[in-house]
Amino acid sequence: MTKKEIAIRIADETGIKQVIVKKIVQKTLDTIIDILVTGETIELRNFGVFKVKSRKGRVGRNPRTGETVPVEPKKAVVFKAGLVMKQKVK
């Protein structure tokens, strides 16, 4: 499902114009990204938790040549589903 399809579904269910819903959905996603950039955690009750996790640097291996390659430390976004989401998806 795409952002557009989400906006269409919300617009159909609420009666709000699709253009307005699309802007709201985009602004919501932009805000989530902006908050994660600052390193904060986002907790949406019954949905889940988004947070940024730091990964340590390590030594990797090129599978073709077998050569060892240093992998830089980096940050990654992780998502943990909330209880209600887990139960409904199950």
Q: What is the CATH number of the domain that holds 88?
A: 4.10.520.10
Residues 25 and 53 in one domain: no
pLDDT score for 67: 93
From 21, 3, 78, select the one nearest 48 (Cα to Cα).
Answer: 78
Residues 31 and 52 in one domain: no
Residues 50 and 85 in one domain: yes
Pairwise CA distance, residues 84 & 90, whole Å: 10
Containing structural domain, residue 28: 1-38
pLDDT score for 82: 94
Dihedral sign for Cα 68, 69, 73, 79, please. Answer: negative
Residues 17 and 60 in one domain: no
pLDDT score for 1: 93
Q: Give 50's DSSP letter.
A: E
Length of the chain: 90
Question: Phi first, then psi: what are they for 88, rounded to 5°?
Answer: -70, -35
Residues 33 and 48 in one domain: no
pLDDT score for 13: 96
Residues 55 and 80 in one domain: yes
Residues 19 and 52 in one domain: no
Q: Mean pLDDT in each 10-residue stretch from start to end of the chain (90 residues)?
A: 95 96 96 95 95 94 92 95 93
Strand runs labelled E in the chain: 42-44, 48-55, 58-61, 68-71, 74-81
